[in-house]
Amino acid sequence: MYLESKKISLIALGITALACSRILFFFFNDPEGPNLLIVVVLAAVIYVLSLAAYFFASSPSNLKKSWLALLVQILVVVGLYIGLS
């Protein structure tokens, strides 16, 4: 049960990383739209950063770790948007 819960949390983090990456590029005014490769690479970077937060969190609860990793994803995207605009 614990392993299945952890797997679901990591898959959800991957999906939210992809969504956050796509949302970041949505806010830039580019008439051609974002390149799919760039969106996927940025999603991988966001996922790795949130994965580090997930594994280094001191909480034993998967739910708290997932919320922390999601917060890291949002902060990274907001920081990148501010830095790139």
Annotated domain spans of the chain: 2-84
Residue 75 carries which side chain, given as an amino acid letter?
L
pLDDT of residue 52: 92
- Two tokens at 80? 């990148």
Per cent of the chain over pLDDT 70 is 95
pLDDT of residue 2: 59
Which residues, other chains included, contact 80 with Cβ-Cβ below 8 Å and sequence gap of 6+? 24, 42
The pTM of the full predicted model, rounded to 2 decimals, is 0.87
d(CA 26, CA 29): 8
- Higher pLDDT pick, 64 / 4: 64
Distance between first and last Cα of the chain: 44
Convert the pLDDT of each residue in 17-49 to its tens digit: 999 999 999 888 888 888 899 999 999 999 999
Q: What is the DSSP letter of 38?
A: H
**Number of other CB atoms surrounding residue 24 within 10 Å:** 20
